[in-house]
Chain A
Amino acid sequence: MDKLLNDFSLGLFVWQTLLFLLLLFLLKKFAWKPILDAVDEREKSIESALKGAEEAERRMQALQADNEAAKKEAMIERDAIMKEARDTRDDIISDAKTAASEEGVKIIASAREEIEIQKKAAIAEIRTQVASLSLDIAEKVVRQNLSSDASQKELVNTLLNETKIN
């Protein structure tokens, strides 16, 4: 103990205390602060990057769920539209069918009417033709002076044949 106390150097103690405090001050200002700040910042940025990645992952999952829901909704909507379209188509077809058949009936009726009119017209014309033919025949017969019975008969036949051709 005596030796220890005797060895104790006051000068060294004072220098050590002063120099250590100076070193502490300088290192704190020029070394530890920038080092620890930089490391802190780095750790924070890593942490925030990890959090960001997690957040992105979560958001993507949410997005995927949204997509799935939208898809389902779209499918339902598509089905509804298809069904509606089919119904509309069927309606149109049946409407068209009824319209067409009605039209057909109308056309047929009008055709019949037309035919009837034509028929009547034809018959009327035939009547006039026959009348004029008969007049012609009568005229010719009169013109021949009725020379002979045979010639009369022949004439009548020829005239009749002519008429037939007509």
Chain B
Amino acid sequence: MRLKNFAKALILTALTTPVLASSSDTNHSDTDHNEHTVSDQNEAVDTKEEIKSYIMHHLEDTYHFGIWDKAGISFPLPVILFDEGLHVFSSSNFADDHGHHDGIAESNGKHYKIDHAKIYRTDAEGTINYNKPFDFSITKNVMMIIITGLLMLLLFRSLGKSYAANGGISKGVGRFMEPIVLYVRDDIARPNIGEKKYKKYLPFLLTIFFFVWFLNIFGLTPLGVNVTGNIAVTFALALLVFLFTNFTGTKDYWMHLFNPLGNAMPWYGKAVLYIILIPIEILGIFIKPFSLMIRLYANMQAGHIVLMSLVGLIYIFGNMMGGSLSFLLAFAISLIEVLVALLQAYIFTMLAALYFGFAAEEHEHHDEAHAH
């Protein structure tokens, strides 16, 4: 059972890591970002630099909910800062007459400005002193998390209620989700964690699966959100997996970490090996959730970059041939992205279940000695 799970993890890792390479594109954006403000005067985005900065801008979190920024259609969101006191004001305070959010906002005698998608304290003239306040604003991503959460609550609560109302058979829109819930239970939680303990981890796995999947799908809509492609979000999810794994770890789990050979070898033999083995095992505790964080972040980020680059190519080619070719490519990639959205949610849940399975393992110790 354990070997099989390990092999599964290896395959999943191999399948998903190549996409990491493409995410290194992100590093180039810093130098190009300055052109952003110059060209942003309601004109078409059609040079290479403009497209690049537009993509980078899209990948970042924003303080307002832009539906169509170029046309100035956007909703302001609350900005919440801790900077020698609480500052709460609307993000529309940053907006200038053209709807660009690069003005100076004033709150309780302090001035703030958005630079590189972060709020900095400035003086009255707008000179940034690179003093970052603690920023707990309801940004676009936070807003999307709230919306997704509400959607999930409504959807699954109605599914949960429909059983009692309909004599044990689900009804309504939630019915579509029931097989997926059962799939997570029967094919992700049960085989990886084991019949005895899977119930403890199942709510977490279900929540994380649907949360990641829905946000991935929202990332593909024209709303232009990129929540699961944000490292802070994937870090939070991975951290929860890490904490949940290690706080529910059984005696066997820790024994496996610090005494993996058991009684298979005399102590002086183990001592030599353990100088190498134990640091690797301890490192493994952190690498596992770290890989979760990077995999989801990089895949979603890369997907958005590739997709938007292909759309951007249409404007760079500027002719029928290249334009239609780019369009077809973008169309094909967006279909693949729909699959990736589900796949990444599945992989995240699958691997989380696998790590929970390690934490929950309990087996006979003489078996352990033979197995290694």
Chain A binding surface, main DSSP class: helix
Q: Is A41 touching B30 in the complex (CB atoms < 8 A)?
A: no
B interface secondary structure, majority: helix
User: Known contacts A11-B136, A32-B202, A32-B206: does B233 contact A16 (CB below 8 Å)?
Assistant: yes
Q: Which of B134-182 contact A (CB under 8 A)?
A: 134-139, 141-142, 145-146, 149, 152-153, 156-157, 159-161, 163-164, 168-170, 178, 181-182
Least Cβ–Cβ distance between A143 and chain B, in angstroms: 136
Q: Is the CB of B26 within 8 A of A27?
A: no
**A12-44 interface (Cβ within 8 A of B):** 12-17, 19-24, 26-28, 30-36, 38-39, 41-42
Judged by a CB distance under 8 angstroms, whether B102 is at the interface is no
Give the complex CA separation of A78 and B186 in angstroms: 61
Residues of B within 8 A of A8 (CB): 231-232, 235
In angstroms, Cα B80 to Cα A156, docked, is 181
> Cβ of B164 and Cβ of A3 under 8 Å apart?
no
Contact assessment for B231 and A23 in the assembled complex, using a CB-CB cutoff below 8 Å: no
Q: In the complex, are the beta carbons of A35 and B136 less than 8 A apart? A: no
B156 in contact with A17 (CB, 8 Å): no
Our pick among A10, A19, A42 for the contact of B168 (Cβ within 8 Å) is A42
Interface residues on B, range: 35 or more
Interface segment, B12-20, B236-244, B272-280?
Answer: B236-244
Q: How far is the CB of A31 from chain B (nearest CB, A)?
A: 3
- A45 interface residue, CB < 8 Å from B? yes
Contacts of B146 in A (CB 8 A): 19
Q: Is the CB of B139 within 8 A of A11?
A: yes
Partner of B233, one of A12, A26, A33, A38: A12
When the two chains form their complex, are residues B235 and A13 in contact, meaning their CB atoms are under 8 A apart? yes
Please determine whether A20 and B237 come into contact, CB atoms closer than 8 angstroms: yes
Question: Distance (Å) between the CB of B298 and the closest chain A CB?
Answer: 10
The reply to whether B206 and A19 form a contact with Cβ atoms under 8 Å apart is no
Given A16-B233, A17-B239, A38:B202 Cβ within 8 A:
no
Given A31-B159, A36-B185, A10:B134 Cβ within 8 A: yes
- Contacting pair B239 A36 (CB below 8 A): no
A20 to B152 CA separation, bound complex (whole angstroms):
11
As a 0/1 sequence over residues 30 to 62 of chain A, the CB contacts with chain B under 8 angstroms (1 = contact) are 111111101101100100000000000000000
- Can you name 18 extra interface pairs (CB under 8 A) apart from A20-B207, A27-B207, A32-B207? A4-B26, A7-B60, A7-B230, A10-B135, A11-B134, A13-B233, A13-B236, A16-B142, A17-B239, A20-B145, A22-B149, A24-B204, A27-B206, A30-B160, A36-B202, A38-B170, A42-B163, A42-B168
B binding-site residues for A, Cβ under 8 Å:
26-27, 29-30, 60-61, 80, 116, 118, 134-139, 141-142, 145-146, 149, 152-153, 156-157, 159-161, 163-164, 168-170, 178, 181-182, 185, 199, 202-204, 206-207, 211, 230-233, 235-237, 239-240
A–B complex contacts, Cβ < 8 Å, 5 sampled: A4-B231, A34-B161, A35-B159, A36-B199, A39-B182
